């Protein structure tokens, strides 16, 4: 049963959780992490800072020519959860941060419903530079950028990886299964053996709010996977 604050974040996600009106109101049982307001952006470890510097001057694919700046990723260097999206969009390219704007706010609500502040996880993308007009990443761009993500995984050593969206999942897992078939399954990251779970991208949820309940199911499954390896 979700806690009171989780209800709040589920509502923020647009999910109304059924509740027995005759039952006692849901009280305090709220993890401190989601009680706290937004925390300061954690500083990266030295190794991640060095990698971010390397990424910032990368010209290994043609996206270097059109980007405003690279988007390395943000969060805790010791995060147990790594969230992986597709690539920076227009706002991310402007701000240099992943998942900003409405989709970013929805991702923050998804994480908070799970019991995590955004600053406690690490959020990154398959590509570190924005594809023009937000087109899908090309295979050669993904290949050129893959080492950076692999290095991030190696340095952070998360316990679980959550891919948001088809592009992130297919590229990370190197499969072409449709996202509807990937959901509900646990995969293994090919080089690190870390468990990988898959759900829809928050930008898709903004267009298809009816799918939010499925996402909540995916998040619960991801949490179960995470807890089973504790
Ligand atoms: Fe380099 Fe990746 Fe940016 Fe391409 S997308 S220029 S490989 S950092």
Ligand 1 pocket test target in 59, 72, 134, 150 with most atoms within 8 Å of CB? 59
User: pLDDT of 81-122, one tens digit each?
Assistant: 999 999 999 999 999 999 999 999 999 999 998 899 999 999
CA of 94 to the centre of ligand 1 (A): 16
With a Cβ cut-off of 6 Å, ligand 1 is lined by 55, 58-61, 63-64, 70, 127-129, 141, 144-145
Indicate if the pLDDT at residue 39 is higher than 50: yes
The residue to mutate among 129, 134, 143, having the most atoms of ligand 1 within 8 angstroms of its beta carbon, is: 129
Q: How far is the CA of 129 from the centre of ligand 1 (A)?
A: 6
37-70: string of b/e by CB count within 10 Å (b at 16+)? eeeeeeebeeebeebbeebeebebbebeeebebb
- pLDDT tier at 42 (50, 70, 90 boundaries)? confident
E-strand spans in 17-121?
74-75, 81-85
pTM (predicted TM-score): 0.87
């Amino acid at each position: 049963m979700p806690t009171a604050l989780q209800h709040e974040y589920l509502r923020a996600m647009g999910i109304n959780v059924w509740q027995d009106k005759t039952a006692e109101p849901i009280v305090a049982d709220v993890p401190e992490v989601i009680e706290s307001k937004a925390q300061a952006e954690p500083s990266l470890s030295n190794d991640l800072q060095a990698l971010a510097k390397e990424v910032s001057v990368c010209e290994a694919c043609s996206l270097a020519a059109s980007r405003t700046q690279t988007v390395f990723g943000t969060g805790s260097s010791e995060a147990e959860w790594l969230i992986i999206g597709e690539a920076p969009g227009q706002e991310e390219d402007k701000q240099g941060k992943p998942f900003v704007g409405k989709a970013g706010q929805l991702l923050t609500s998804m994480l908070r419903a799970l019991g995590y502040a955004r600053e406690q996880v690490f959020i990154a993308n398959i590509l570190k530079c924005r594809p023009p007009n937000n087109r899908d990443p090309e295979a050669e761009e993904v290949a050129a950028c893959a080492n950076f993500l692999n290095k991030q995984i190696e340095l952070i050593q998360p316990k679980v990886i959550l891919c948001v969206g088809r592009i992130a999942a297919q590229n990370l897992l190197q499969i072409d299964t449709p996202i509807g078939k990937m959901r509900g399954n646990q995969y293994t990251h090919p080089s690190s053996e870390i468990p990988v779970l898959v759900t829809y991208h928050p930008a898709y949820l903004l267009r298809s709010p009816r799918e939010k309940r499925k996402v909540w199911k995916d998040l619960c499954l991801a949490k179960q996977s995470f807890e089973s390896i504790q």
